Amino acid sequence: MSEKALSAGDSPYITSSKIRNYITLTKPRLLYSVLFSAVLGFVLPQYSAINVIPLFYLLLGTGLTGGGAHALNQWMEQVPDSKMNRTKGRPLPMGRLSRNEALLFGVIISITGITTLWLALNALTAALGLITLISYILVYTPLKQKTIANTWFGGITGALPPVMGWTAARGQLDWEVVPIFALLYFWQLPHFFAIAWMYRDDYQKSGFKMLSLVDQTGKRTAIQMLLNAILMIASSLAVFMIGQGGLFYLTGAIFLGLGYIGVITLFFSESSIENARKVFLSSIIYLPVLITIIILEQFFY
């Protein structure tokens, strides 16, 4: 039997290896942060015991929708992914799944996720899920090949999960969700600017348009990091000011924010890959810790 016939991408059988490749398509680590922020949005407007049943459906529907979006993103970006060291080991570039398998998987779980949000929760949450999916696939993904502004547009998509959590809990949109939306939006930008600087060569090979590719010194990137980190801190303070966090949260938000600014200042003074990695690591510490503080405070204070 030929090697091609034996390849996982062409096999008609569902094996444990193929299941792992399907799971990889959903980008589990990124999906974890999406689900975590959706839980934050769900918890914030609650003033009594949390109803775990709608929370379960929120996590299920959001997880399926987000995983589907990530799978469809990889389906669309198979060729660029194959050129980048950080992504060439993904299932599609490696041939462990076929394009048709990835497309079918992405469409099925996306539809299932949106349907779950609609039938188990409400139409508004489902609509927000659909907007998140469409903006990721039809706006952010194509813009990566066209303009450096893709990062700012992508930030909108990434800031919608807590809004979905809010509408899942409340059944309506309220102005009080704006600070947490803004917090997630402004947090993402330094995070992705750091990634773009760390993998400048990869992005150039793939044809993606990134700020780091038109910024030889790193100063424009550093200024954008600082500006958005300051706006992120302002958003975190707004969460406290409208009563969604107490003194414990405020103390944590200030210390975490100042620490984040300090690391970005290092990148501003020396725009090295090492310092960009420090910004990236600081960002993935900042958000989960801050969200955990908010959630704990809702339960114990």
Considering the domain architecture, whether residues 18 and 60 belong to the same structural domain is answered as yes
> Which domain does 67 fall in, by range?
9-173
Same domain membership, residue 285 and residue 269: yes
Would you state the torsion angle of the CA atoms of residues 15, 19, 24, 30, taken in this order, to the nearest 10 degrees? -160
The model's pLDDT over 168-184, given as tens digits with 9 standing for 90+, comes to: 999 999 999 999 999 99
Whether residue 98 is predicted with pLDDT greater than 70 in this model: the reply is: yes
| Final residue of a structural domain among 139, 173, 207 | 173
> Residues 252-287: pLDDT tens digits?
999 999 999 999 999 999 999 999 999 999 999 999
In the predicted model, is pLDDT for residue 127 greater than 90? Answer: yes
DSSP 41-55: HHHTT--S---HHHH
Whether 101 and 186 map to the same domain: the answer is no
130-139 average pLDDT score: 96
Shared-domain flag, residues 31 and 46: yes
pTM over 0.85: yes
Region 24-53: mean pLDDT is 88
Same domain, 93 and 184: no
Q: How confident is the model at residue 1 (pLDDT cuts 50, 70, 90)?
A: very low
Q: Are residues 141 and 225 in the same domain?
A: no
Q: Which long-range contacts (CB under 8 A, 24 or more apart) does 76-82 make?
A: 76/137, 76/141, 76/142, 77/141, 77/144, 78/102, 80/145, 80/206, 80/207, 80/208, 81/206
Q: Report the helix count and the strand count for the chain, using DSSP H and E.
A: 16, 0
Confidence of residue 49 (pLDDT cuts 50, 70, 90): low
Mean pLDDT across 39-66: 89
Contact criterion met (CB below 8 Å) for 76 and 133: no
Instruction: Confirm whether 81 is domain-assigned.
Output: yes
Integer Cα distance of 190 and 286 in angstroms:
12
